[in-house]
Structure 1
Amino acid sequence: MNATVEFLGNVRFWDPGKGAGLAVVDVPDDCVQQLGGRKQRRVSGTLNGADFTGSTMLVAGGGFCVGVSKAALKAAGAAVGDEVRVVLSREQP
């Protein structure tokens, strides 16, 4: 099964206290199961229409997010703090 999810999310730093580093977008709870549950895995899709690949990861306290590279943000015309449209598909092994 290759499920695709689409949602709006805000780009934030993984560690907001640092004000720099890894950028992530939180995955809404209702999309997590469609991506295969709360497990780290490779995903591909688009960020504001620009192609990208990343990895999902658990967030302390029960959240779930996808990492977004600086290159993907640049291609999407987005920055930390921006709302973005995310389309994700789980990559099959």
Structure 2
Amino acid sequence: MAVEFHGTVRRWRDDKPGGLAVVDVPAEFVAELGGRKQRRVSGTLNGADFTASTMLVAGGGFCVGVSKTALKSAEAAVGDEVEVVLQP
């Protein structure tokens, strides 16, 4: 089952400006994606197909990594709000 949400693209680490970008997954969708485990997911980012990995965030959060290629396909950048559809 797919989950849909809006989120803001942010840097994984603020001290690494060219590093990984992520979108935080709202807590209500974590269980539907298989719980707080790292795993591969597929879906769309602003309607553009992409595959990624989910990741744990310190302090109890959960996010999905977004590659530079996926951002380009989605016509998005760090700081932008995006529409995310994910399937485990």
Give the 5 Å matches for 1:52-63.
52-63=50-61
CA distances 1:35-64 after superposition (whole Å, capped 9, x unpaired): 010000000000000000000000000000
TM-score, normalising length: structure 2: 0.97
CA distances 1:18-77 after superposition (whole Å, capped 9, x unpaired): 222000000000010000100000000000000000000000000000000100000000
Residue 21 of structure 2: aligned partner:
23
Task: Return the offset for 1:16.
Answer: 1.4
Q: Counterparts of 1:4 and 1:16 in 2: how far apart (Å)? A: 30
Q: How many residues align?
A: 88
Residue 14 of structure 1: aligned partner:
12
Gaps of 5+ in 1: none
Residue 44 of structure 1: aligned partner:
42
Q: Counterparts of 2:33 and 2:78 in 1: how far apart (Å)? A: 24
Q: Letter of the 1:5 partner, please give it.
A: V
TM-score, normalising length: structure 1: 0.92
Could you list the runs of 4 or more consecutive aligned residues of structure 1 that deviate by over 2 angstroms after TM superposition?
Answer: 17-20
